[in-house]
Structure formats: structure tokens, C-alpha cells
Structure 1
């Protein structure tokens, strides 16, 4: 007897007591374990648990992305009766195209594995799911890709397009759309300042001014100072939401053909027309018109951003036009991972940038990368009583299903990562463990990490992620980081004693970055397993400062800091210098 293939945690698709094959661990939500523990169910292994396959697929998908860009550029030019270069469409559509292609490949690969197993005899497809829809823009796509409903719909379409697995249609019933906890807004005062500045200063601005949007400097003060260094009237630009339009089925009858004989490319060619955001198709002309309505420089020579080039389609539409007209695009490093690990996000930003401002690292074969130092230039809150007494451990956060490819814990590999953290805590001495404070994420997507933590370690102090990481660092005797992300760059930059540990097979480190991590390993800062890290923390706990200020540690940390989180005596000045240099070429 075969099994019912189940693609998500939506229980309406689980059938009525029949044997189940879950497509992955994301189907079994921890907080709902009472509803699946007793089922006759098996879980399909995850295809990207094999890191050799990740590397192989990375090369395949990076190459396919270039072919897709050429094909979709020609298609969109023809449909919109325009004649833009591939770089224009790379800036506007490239981020979504890469994210969607890699997400679809992930789901497609799991489906092929399930069908090839011979265990699948049918699946249930839910109809009328609110989230089974065309996204408005890139931001909308990112929200939807975390929705079980959207993923159920994607898998259903893959099954229909590429297999003969029998499908049983069922009603979605009472299910509502995706509910996402919004990030706390700090926009009130800033919004009022922006609106005031736009009204008062707009008449004084020049159409040739440098466009600075989302530079990710420390504060508004530094952003205003950057404008003054550029000798232009300070402006604070906001990027608003894209005006949505309804999808038109008559506009979506096309199929994109690339990579003959590639079964995934054939599936992708069919589904692109169904999932392409309306901002790039039905709403494209309105998007361009909305961008032109913004009170932004019309003949700028340089555009500088550290964030809007990925998510903000309104900005990207405006930016693509200006870059095609000759403006230079300067992109600042937004956070960690860049220069240390690899990701599609970083691959994309280097593919569109005329100049990239790194936090310290360079690449001898790419003169566009300019090491200027840590743009955010963080500052610890003052503590009159001196350094705190906590051992602060920050947990990572990954989506249940892959949104785009990177050298990190992918999908259910995250649960193996969580097990490593458990091993670390269980290996701590009692006095260290009693001082432990664990910071989770307020944006935990489906893995219920804080609930798992409370059940496993009810005695450990847990922060839910709403407090500033800088506040927690100010309270730390020692800071323990567990992912190849951003926070250890901030702690090292700020001089907070730091211990780092992660499995490099799960959180990859680029070969060219290895020498700096090897030096940290020699002095106990970086560890490749949790037991070693815990033993080191135990050994230095009674005198962390003596270890951290030792000559060998200071030298290794200083070398690492210079490479990956450099402190500049004049961050704003360095950024202004690089912007001016880009504009003069």
C-alpha cells in the first residue's frame, strides 16, 4: 500500500488516517506534535542535507539564472514594448527571479525524490487557499514563500506539471491567509522628519544630486552628514509600497524556454508565468510611472544604497532607469556573511554594483570591492557599573523552507544546528549555565525554537529577541555566537569577549577567508564543534578578561577585525570618497 504525499503542516491535506509520506520536517510543526506523533507517517530525507549536492546545484542554478535573465529580458521587452538592456532587468527582476528559481528547485527536488521512492500513491490538493496567489512584488513574494498555503500550492503545481501522481481535490475550508508578526515600527519620528525635510528642502536640491537611500549607516545624523560631505542639500528618501494591480490570466499564457532537455528548466518555464509578480507584468507601466512620480534626482550620476537593491521594487524600477542612463550604482555591505560565506543575495549585488563598499575585506581580482570599514559603526549603551555578568548566546533563525540558496543551515538542517546548541549548553559548568542568557528570534518561522528551548531547558533565561542586541552585548561578560551571520562582527568590533562556534559543513566559510578563522581557532575564539566551545568557555569563565586581553588573542582578533569588521576613523568620509570616485569614472 502506498502513502499519501503531504507537502506542508496544513492538516486538511493529511487525509483520514491513511499512511503518510511527509515531504520534509517542515510538515511536522513542534507546537502541534500531539497531532502527528501517533500517525503512520514517514518523513522524506532532505535533498540538500548532502553538502556536495548543494555545491553542485549552486553552480547549476547560478548558470541557469544567467540564461533565464537573457530570456526573460527579451520576453518583458517584447510584452512592454521597450528595449532595455539585460542589466536593467537584472536590477529590477533579478532578485525575484533568483529567489523563485532556487525555491522552486528546492520543492521540485523533494517532489522528484518522493515520486522516485515509489512510496507515493496520491496527494490531496486544497482549493481556494487565500495565499495561493500571484505576488504583487518582491516583498510580497518573500511573505508568501513563508506561507504553508503558498508552498502547498507550489508543490501541487509541480506535481501536476511533472508527475502523474493522482490528485484528490479538497476544500481549504476556513483557512485564512498568512499572518505575519510585523516588526516593531520605529518609523514615527523618522517619518515626520522625512516629510518635513522633503517639504522644506526639496526646492533647494539639484537634479544631479547623489541618490542616497537606505545607506544603513549608524543613524539619521550620519546619513545627513554624508549628504553634507557630498556637498549637496541633505535629503532623507523613503521608498513606499508598490501600488498593486490584479493579475490578468490573458497576460500569462506564455512559456519561457531555456536549457533544452533539463526537466527542472521545463517545469520552471511553465510556472514562471503563473508566479511572476504583477509589478513586472500587468503592473509594470504603473510601477515605472509611480517611480517617476517620486521627488528623487532625475539626472543623478551615482546611486548609493545598502538595502533597497534587493527588496524595494519601486526603488529598483527607478534605479534601473538611471543606471541604464549612465549612473553608477554603489552598494554598501548590509551585514555579515558577505566576504565570509556565499549566498545568492551577495552574488546578485556584486552582479549589479559598479562599486561595492565592504566592511574590510577585498578581492584582488575584483577592483570594484572597496574596503571602507563597518558602515553601521555600532556603539554600546553605557553601563556605569562596567561589563555585565551574563554569558549571552544568540540563536540563529532560518526559514522552514529555503527562500534562496546560501552557505548556511538549509531548511531542516536547522534542527541539527539546534541540537548542536543543546550539546553546548549541556556541556557548560553549572556556574556558567546559571549565568546563561539565550536570545531567540522574534521572527522564528515555523521551527518554534523558543518553545523547544523552554521544554528542554526551563531553567535557562531566554530573551525573545525584542531587545536590542547592543543592549544584550553591554550586559555580557562573554558573548557566544553560533552562526556565520552578523552579530559576531558587531561584538568583535565593539571589543566584547567573543566565542564563536558552528559546523563549517553547515555554515560554510570561503577558502579565501579560512586563514583568519584558523588564527581565531588557535586562540580559542572560533570552534568547529559545540563541545570544544563549551570546554573553552568553562576554562576561561572565572577570568574572561585575562584570556581576551592576552597578547595572542588580541593579535588574532585585531587581524580578523581589520579584515571583516574594520573600524574607520571617519566612516562617513570614506563612504563619501568612494561615492565621489565612482561618479568621476
Structure 2
């Protein structure tokens, strides 16, 4: 008789059957490097990661979007009935998609890996969390923080799926501190002062207004706010929509079951998603909805015809409620936030933001409802990089658990990413000049300890101001393509980018520009070649970086993906005045 195989879904060892000689880890998230002695002795296998396959990502994205559309059509009717209101599909789409689409993707990832384990191994069994130990969440942000940081919450999601699929499992009691479900938003004195001054100045000096919420001005942000305000005669009202709001409503599990268990779909996965919503649907959209909505409607928010943000949609519920309530009267404009956007084959935040907005501003590339808006220059000073000796290696990291589809390093692919960087370090002979800047969070990957396997003499520094660090470097190396490399390219700091093969996948329109970076020896997919190249050019970086070939490639790439201007404030003013004029004509 074939022996049952134990399936470990978590790094929590209370939920491992260590007496089993026959086991498999569902993914790399189960195996903490700091606890490697615990699992190395078990000699269990690890299931392959589905999303290393480009085609699987393609199909997963399309499938989850179709599931979202089908679920929303039924969910918005159920929510209208529950709240005794009559909001249209667009209202609920604006409010829910930034959370619900990634939620569906998260459940899909877990579902697919469990189904793969079930298919690959016969007679699997596992340990699950007791239902009465499940946590609820109050906001999308609480949900996301639990997914990226909390093993027990991910175990809850796995447990729900395993029980839905009737896979053999035993419940384990596990006491832990549950989430505080009081919804609390507070403003800072600094934000409130800026809001008051901005509103008063606009009322005195300008008959029009553009409401600006979290514009994501990074370096010298206050100076940029002042420049834009003064040059526009206070057209822009800066209000991050951070107000004092408190909602304390108890979870009604019986009503949740009534809502989510009575609606059925034709496919297994959609039914699974709806069933998991009983515990995972944020209370701000259910028990706390009417109270929170009512308080948002009473806030003294400046009534404007145009609203702009680059960073509020994914975490500011006041912003989402306000735009959902007023989308018919508002021109919703949103700005790109992140260096992957425009380059990735598909970028989920980009897709959600495009759906959310009437006008989407990019760093230079084009899309259907997109416009190009110049970004502030990161520095107006020429940098004499040859007077510096340091080489700065800027790293990234992603959570151990999947939290949306990406064509880059994430979840289990982080192990490949780390190994790629280790190969670079093993073959790099200028380590005495190298300063490694790890990401501020580590998500229990123990990246520093893993890299120290290469050399105990490696230097790490993520406390020095980032902009000071990159401006005081001879060469800046990125082992990823997120936002930082756009900043160094824009400032004309010598930049080398190393990305692992078969992890990044770019859209067709971006591939010629990626090739420009490769031809200029800025972008490498081979860490050995990158190490050798940096060593060769280090003593005379200018001969490479200031060559016509490199500068032409840099300028052409930046013009499309990191377009900046010293006159950016005037460009913004012109653009938003045009939007206001077009809106006035359309409504006349």
C-alpha cells in the first residue's frame, strides 16, 4: 500500500508532520533560510513554482481577469441589496478592483499549486488551521499586509482552499493575536497644515482647481509642491485625503455566509473564491461600509473638476470612496508609479490604474487613454562620478508569498534572483570598492546572510540616504529593474543592470529599447559578463559612459521611459489647464 505524502504549506513548523518520511513543501516560502537545519534533515522535495513559466503567467492573468468580471457582476448586486443602495457596476468596479483582482490572483496561485501537488502526488494529506482561529480583515491594506508578512494568515487561505477541495487534513489549534478590526484613519499636523494653506490660497488666487492626492514627489517633495503651487497661481490643491475617521463595527459571520454562500457559479474556482470571501472580504466594504461612506461624504474635501494621484489608489480608502462617489463629475487622472510599468509584458497595477482613470499619465511611453507628463528632474547638477571610488549594488526583494502576477522576481523566484546576484559577487574582483544596499525589508529571506556565503568581507549599507549614496558612487549596479535605475539613468550616473534570465518578460513595444541598453553594455542577463565588464571599465568609466553610443542609448531610453524636464512644473500647469478647458467644453 502506497504511503500517504505530507504536504507542507507554511514555514510554521507546528503545521509540519516531522514524523513523516514522505513529504513535500508547496514552495520556497515554506523554507526559512534561518531555520534550514529543520528542513534539511527532513529531506523533503519542493514543488516546482508554476509562475516560472511565461505562458502560465499569461494564461493566469487572462483567466483571473475573466473571473473578476464574472464575480463582480453578481457581487455588486449582492452588495447593493445588503446595503440597501443602488450603485452601478462602475462604482463598485472603482471601489473593489484594486483589491478584488489581486485577491482573486492570490487565491488562484494557492489553488493552482495545491491542485498541482494533488495531481503530482497520490494520497496527500496536510495540517490546516481551525475555522474558529481564522482572522478577518478590515481594509484591503490590512489584507495585503497579512499576505506579505503573516505566515498564519497565508495558512488560513491555504486551509480554506484545502477544505473546499476535500483534501485530507487535520485541524491544528494555534493561538495567536488576531487583527484589530477598528478602521482608523488619522491626519498628521504637517498634512493638515499643507491642506489648509493650499485650499485658502486656491480660493483667493484661482477660480479653478485640481485636487492632488499623494503625487509621489520623491526627492525634495515640499519644494516641488511649492514650485507647482506658486507657478500655477495655486491651481493645485494638495490634500492627501488623510482625515480623522474611526469605524468600529463587529463582524457578522452569519450575514456573511448568507451573502457569499448563496451565490453559485458554473466553475469550481469561482465558487471557491466566493466561499473564501466569507472570512476574507474587508469589513470596510461590508459591516463598516455605510458608516465609513457616510463619514467620507461629510469631509471638507475641495470640490474640483479634476483629481490627480500617483500613489493613493492602492492604500487610501478615503480616496477610493471619494472617487467612486464622484466619478461622473470628476476627470480622474492617475500617474505612473514604478519602473516596471510600460516595460513588463503585462503589469497588474498598470492595468488596474488604467481601468480606474480617465487619463493615465506615463513617463514617456504611450497607451490608449494615456498621456505623457514630464517628471521633475532628480538633479540639475552634473555629477563628477570619477572622483568617487564606491560601487553601489542596489538590491530589491519581494515577499515570500505570491501577491499578484509579475513578470519579474517574486515569491519562489527570489531564490533564483539571489543566486544570480551571488554568481555576480563570486566573480567580481573589486569587492573592496563594493557597497551593497539591501532593500529595507527582508521578508525572512535572510538575503544578507545568503550573500555572506560568498565572502564574509562584503559591506552592507541601507542606512545612508539613498540619493546621497547613488550620487556619491562611481558606478551604480542594479540587480533588478524596478524604479531606481530610471533615476540613475535620468541623472546620468553610470549604471549597470543585471537581471536573471527567464524571469523578466517585456512587452513587444519595449524590446527595442531593452536591446538599446544591452548593446550599450548597460543591461546584462549574464552575471559573469557583468562582473567582468565592471572590472574593465572601473578605472576609466568615462570612456564607456560618455561615449556617443552609450549616451544616445541612455537618452533614447529615458525619453520613452523616464522623461524629465527642468520645466516640468510649467508642463504640468499647461497639461492640467488643457484638461480643465476640455472638461468645461464637454459640459457646456
Structure 1: distance between partners of 2:264 and 2:533: 51
Give the counterpart of 2:304 among 294, 300, 316.
Answer: 300
Aligned residues: 564
* Alpha-carbon displacement from aligned partner over 1:475-504 (angstroms, at most 9, x marks no partner): 211111121210100000111001112135
| Cross-structure match for 1:313 | 317
Say what the alpha-carbon RMSD is for the aligned residues.
2.6
Tell me the secondary structure at the aligned position of residue 4 of structure 1. strand
Distance change (3 Å), C-alpha of 1:572 and 1:534:
same
Secondary structure of the 2:321 match is: helix
2:14 to 12, 28, 37: 12
Structure 2 residue runs without a partner (length 5+): 181-185, 584-588
TM-score, with structure 1 as normaliser: 0.90
Is the counterpart of residue 115 in structure 1 residue 118 in structure 2? yes
Tell me whether 1:335 sits opposite 2:332 in the alignment.
no
Aligned to 1:269: 274
What is the CA deviation profile of residues 305-358 of structure 1, one whole-angstrom value per residue up to 9, with x for unaligned ones?
11101211121101111113x211010112211111132111100111111111
1:473/1:491 contact within 8 Å kept: yes
d(CA) in 1 for partners of 2:493, 2:132: 48
Which of residues 453, 458, 461 in structure 1 aligns to 2:459? 461
Residue from 213, 220, 223 that aligns with 2:222: 220
2:52 is aligned, of 49, 58, 61, to 49
Shift in CA distance, 156/381, structure 1 to aligned 2, threshold 3 Å: farther
Residues 256 and 476 of structure 1: CA distance in aligned 2, closer, same or farther (over 3 Å): farther
Q: Residue 434 of structure 2 corresponds to which residue in structure 1?
A: 436
Cα distance in 1, alignment partners of residues 531 and 384 from structure 2: 30
Q: Deviations over 1:165-207 (max 9, x none)?
A: 222122214x45689xxxxxxxx9x943333344566566659
Q: Is 2:445 the counterpart of 1:447?
A: yes
Give 1:40-119 correspondences, 5 Å limit.
40-119=43-122
Q: Distance in 2 between matches of 1:258 and 1:543?
A: 67
2:529 corresponds to 1:527: no
Match of 2:151 in 1: 148
2:287 counterpart (263, 271, 282): 282
CA contact (8 A) 2:363 2:375 kept: yes
The secondary structure found in structure 2 opposite 1:402 is coil
Contact 2:18 2:42 in 1 (8 A): no
Q: Decide whether the 8 Å contact of 2:211 with 2:236 is kept in 1.
A: no
Task: Give me the whole-angstrom Cα distance separating, in 2, the residues matched to 1:16 and 1:500.
Answer: 42
Q: 1:49 to 1:198 in 2, by over 3 A?
A: closer
- 1-side partners of 2:132 and 2:380: how far apart? 46
Matched, 1:388 2:388: yes
CA distance in 1: counterparts of 2:559 and 2:538, whole angstroms: 27
Looking at structure 1, the residues matched to 14 and 380 of structure 2 have their Cα atoms a distance apart, in angstroms, of 49
Instruction: Output aligned runs, 1:391-410, within 5 Å.
Output: 391-410=391-410
Contact 2:476 2:493 in 1 (8 A): yes
Q: C-alpha displacement at 1:70, in angstroms?
A: 2.6
Structure 1 residues 177, 128: CA separation in 2 closer, same or farther (over 3 Å shift)?
Answer: same
String of CA shifts for 1:92-117, please: whole Å, max 9, x gaps.
11111011100110011111111122
How much has 1:417 moved relative to structure 2? 1.1
TM-score by length of 2: 0.90
Q: 1:7 to 1:380 in 2, by over 3 A?
A: farther
